[in-house]
Amino acid sequence: MEKLMISGGRPLRGTVTISGAKNSAIALIPAAILAESEVVLDNLPHLSDVAVYSEILEELGARVSWEESQMRIDPSNIRSIPMPNGPVKMLRASYYMMGALLGRFNEAIIGLPGGCNFEPRPIDQHIKGFEALGATVTNEHGAIHLKATELRGAKIYLDVSSVGATINIMLAATRAKGLTTIENAAKEPEIIDVATLLNSMGASIKGAGTETIRIEGVKELKGCRHSIIPDRIQAGTYMIAAAATRGDVMIDGIIPKHLEALTAKLLEMGVSVEELDESIRVIGTSRYEHVDVKALVYPGFPTDIQSPMTSLLTQAEGVSVLSDFVYSNRFKHVPELVRMGAKIRVEGRSAIIEGSSLNAAKVKAADLRAGAALVVAGLTVESGVTEISGVELIDRGYDNLVTNLRMLGADVWRQVE
């Protein structure tokens, strides 16, 4: 096991180029199952979740080759082999195997997903969608069994605008007979990315990125080449780290529009943010105003960057209130930040954050984004070394983290525990 060691107090300076989006990649890889020929994915991030997904596809019989940021997936020999255990248990997004295998083979057996367990994360909306399309869904000893004689288009209203359920239903419906409509669909950029890939494969999906998605089923999908959108959560984390260390960083290779909610909050705090075509420059300053933040579904402030944002708000003057309306209790970073001297208390869905300087401490990343919060916090500490364990969780979502931070001037290294 490794620990991340941070000797903080140095302003980050320079340029960081952002890789492809994790939450797109882990939906696009299973989407390739639906094609009859090779799918080539460019701009793939180097992350452990991506490696697990390529392993899952190989187990099913796909030929997968992954070189640098390109993955080639030849799904021609894929079978719907039952996967009640094994790598599917290692990541949350293995739920996409259900939609993809159901869509291609009308059946699948997939173990209930693993991944970041910051709170119970139900998949009832995914199941409701599969059932509406004509599948029988049963849970047998922790594995979901899905079977359909034929999938038929249906009108599906999501009770919550779930990213996972929206994508999963799109996957299952692309080859179903007739029209499927998803109402109250999630609007995140990753959903548009998946629809773009599926349409390049020959699917007929309209309205991705709005609350109504219409999918006209097609008989067959072919291979294609697709470049993954930039990771807005990694980009946002570097923007926050630049502000927290009062540095000057150009975050490059991104779509600034995807980060508007964060940009607006940083400006409100007094951070200087310049938007360019494919980059954002963040220049920190010595004094920040407190702000209130509400994490919501897209285009609201992303829940996935509320944890690092909590760390930044410890650097603002006065009291900030950060509430998460996507997850009710995604605050596992708070007790660790308190160990570092932060003055934060959690009340219901909100963290109440009083500005204060932070100290070096030994802390533990309880999940991916909680880990990112600790990295941002460690970078602000003026003296001593912050030791973060649970690095393998951070590696699930941030590729080249240490290299990138070092290039920006941070004193960060990995140490074997």
Ligand-binding site membership of 369 (annotated): no
Closest CA to 24 of 14, 36, 32: 32
Ligand-binding site membership of 127 (annotated): no
Q: How many CB atoms neighbour CB 324 within 10 A?
A: 23
Q: Nearest approach, Cβ of 262 to ligand EPU (angstroms)? A: 14
In the 8-state DSSP scheme, what is residue 228? Answer: P
**Catalytic site residue 116?**
yes
Chain residues in the site for ligand EPU (CB under 6 A): 23, 26, 92-93, 116, 121-126, 160, 162-165, 186, 188, 303-304, 326-327, 368-369, 397
Contact 176, 151 (CB under 8 A): yes
Q: Which two tokens stand for residue 78?
A: 């894929």
Instruction: Reduce the DSSP state of residue 325 to 3 states and report it.
Output: coil
Cα 33 off chain centre by: 21
Ligand-binding site membership of 326 (annotated): yes
Ligand-binding site membership of 92 (annotated): yes
Q: Nearest approach, Cβ of 371 to ligand EPU (angstroms)? A: 10
Q: Nearest approach, Cβ of 252 to ligand EPU (angstroms)? A: 21
d(CA 27, CA 223): 16
Instruction: Reduce the DSSP state of residue 182 to 3 states and report it.
Output: strand
Q: Nearest approach, Cβ of 88 to ligand EPU (angstroms)? A: 13
Ligand-binding site membership of 304 (annotated): yes
User: Closer to ligand EPU at the Cβ: 313 or 372?
Assistant: 372
Which one of 4, 5, 83, 116 is the catalytic residue?
116
The residue type at 132 = A
Any idea which residue has 């067959």 for tokens? Answer: 220
Which residues share a beta bridge with 108?
146
Q: Nearest approach, Cβ of 56 to ligand EPU (angstroms)? A: 14
Closest CA to 105 of 175, 195, 165: 175
Q: What is the DSSP string of 167-217?
A: HHHHHHHTTSBSEEEEES----HHHHHHHHHHHHTT-EEE-BTBSEEEEE-
Ligand-binding site membership of 123 (annotated): yes
Residue ranges of the annotated binding site are 22-23, 92, 121-125, 304, 326
Summarize the annotated binding site for UDP-N-acetyl-alpha-D-glucosamine as residue ranges.
Answer: 92, 121-125, 304, 326
- Which residues does the annotation place in the binding site for phosphoenolpyruvate? 22-23
Report the catalytic residues: 116
